[in-house]
Chain A
Amino acid sequence: MTDQLRGDVVLRVNGEDRVVNLDNRSTLLDALREHLRLTGTKKGCDHGQCGACTVLVDGERANSCLLLAVAAEGREVTTVEGLADEDELHPLQRAFIAHDGFQCGYCTPGQLCSAIGMLAEVADGMPSWISADLTATPDLDDDEIRERMSGNLCRCGAYAGIVAAIREVADG
């Protein structure tokens, strides 16, 4: 218990522990961008409505704009900066380039993190709202991709390329 309005928070980001002194009001998004200078993660709406701020927390998708940084202590955070393996882009990053999965690129870090979390859900057998059979192995057709990615808006409307890029990686 702290009587303080701020304090040191240990954030585990992209495999490294980082100590930051934060006001309790800081969201994970602001901590990443303003304190850790990891500006890949973007702020769109700041209210959970656009997905630009999506990161992975313990491997699952999260809107970093709605997560208090103090509440993320001890959880494993992965941002877009943590997706590539040294100079080797993540296959999904390569697929986004190959399929023109962006125009301005503002939504892209969130799209990438969200898609990685989504593909892990699918690999784990998770159905979606539009899956006809809740217990069958998911069949990730384009409508399933759209439904599962509906938390990520693209103001440029690059959806066709985004779906194609995700499709390519899903099909292996």
Chain B
Amino acid sequence: MRAFRYARATDPGAAAALVTSQPDAVYLGGGTNLVDLMKLGVLRPGLVVDVSRLPYDRIEHLPDGGVLIGGAARNRRVAHDEGIRRRYPALARALLSGASGQIRSQATVAGNLLQRTRCPYFQNTATPCNKRDPGSGCSAIPGAHRDLGVIGTSEHCVATHPSDLAVALAAYDAVVEVRRPDGAEVLVPIGDLHRLPGDTPWIETVLEPGDLVTGVQLPPPPDGAVATYRKVRDRWSFAFATVSVAAVLSTDQVRLALGGVAPKPWRLTATERMLAGTDPSDDDVRAATRAAFTDARPLPENAFKIELAADLVAAVLRDLRTAGAVR
């Protein structure tokens, strides 16, 4: 690991000033991704600015039914919050499905959203990777891509974004609060936070240097909505998603977001439009899900994810309906 200076930020302005003072400075949340990647030599910061103790750990339920969650709030606390469990069950479940009890206790909301891909070539400095080493090539396309993306990918990168939290936030139409280094606050819809790789896979988000994620805002869930998060993976616990879905269902709306298939949480807008207000059969749901993959670029080892997604969405919507809360 490269040697680095460490600073514990006491206010966001000072944190931003520090992190913009040198190009190789980074923010530190819980460290569960950053420290891991520093050990692997994938990230080599010269200055680490610890923002985990800034006063952004609120979980505030609003009179209109929405909620504000601070960027420094730990994943475990968010999943445990009673209002979140009652009103945003897909969010609580997504968090509970992620990582382990140890990691959830330390991981922050901001760090979770900004964690890096688990692509094995990104994590291995001995192999080419356009994300880590621009222009070196993508090892995954001709290599081990079974766990990687099928849609939104490019000929330069097929990495997925691994966050379960982000998928649930997408289904709840969350907005990310960002504090610019000049103090301005900007709001970024969760679906716009991560960028598709195109021919610049090393640019992963719309954030600029020094931008600090201070929280996420969730509007109230649709009236009478039921919601859940389901995750298919290679073992029943402590594994990243092969394919996951966050589903929010009310009488007139269906909202669906997938994990494990794309470089960002993938909203199935075409599917949602086809299904809204209908009482579809499982086969209708499968067909509507497949319709969202017309622009997919599946690879030999991961094309199965499209059928898996179709089955998963059908199963989850069926279960949400029979749970009785949606009529």
A interface residue numbers (CB < 8 A to B): 1-5, 23-25, 27, 46-48, 51, 54, 57, 60-63, 66-68, 70-71, 73, 114, 117-118, 121, 124-129, 134-135, 146-152
Contacts and interface: CB of A to CB of B under 8 A. Distances in A.
Contact of A71 (B38, B50, B86, B236): B50
A101 B38 CA distance: 34
Contacts of B92: 127, 134
A19 B210 CA distance: 32
Contact of B102 (A61, A124, A128): A61
Contacts of B106: 57, 60, 62-63, 66-67
A127 B96 contact: yes
Interface string B90-103: 00110011011111
B48 A67 contact: no
Nearest to A3: B5
B101 A149 contact: yes
Given A48-B32, A63-B32, A66-B35, A25 B4 contact: yes
Contacts of A129: 93, 96-97, 237
Interface string B1-13: 1011111100000
Tell me whether chain A's interface is mostly helix, strand or loop, or mixed.
loop
A136 to B, nearest CB: 10
Contacts of A2: 5-7
A66 B48 contact: no
A147 B85 contact: no
Contacts of A54: 102
A128 B96 contact: yes
A149 to B, nearest CB: 7
Give the interface size class of chain B: 35 or more
Contact of A47 (B36, B48, B74, B101): B36
A51 B237 contact: no
Contacts of A61: 101-102, 105
Nearest to A27: B35
Given A70-B8, A134-B92, 9 more contacts: A2-B5, A24-B6, A60-B105, A68-B28, A71-B28, A129-B237, A151-B99, A151-B103, A151-B238
A94 to B, nearest CB: 23
A52 to B, nearest CB: 11
13 contacts: A1-B7, A63-B32, A63-B102, A66-B31, A66-B103, A70-B50, A71-B6, A124-B80, A127-B96, A134-B93, A135-B86, A146-B237, A151-B103
B225 to A, nearest CB: 15
A46 B237 contact: no
B82 interface: yes
A151 B101 CA distance: 6
Contacts of B245: none
A24 to B, nearest CB: 4
B3 A118 contact: no
Interface in B16-44: 18, 28, 30-32, 35-36, 38-39
B89 interface: yes
Query: Which residue, A68, A135, A152, has most C-beta atoms of chain B within 10 A?
Result: A68
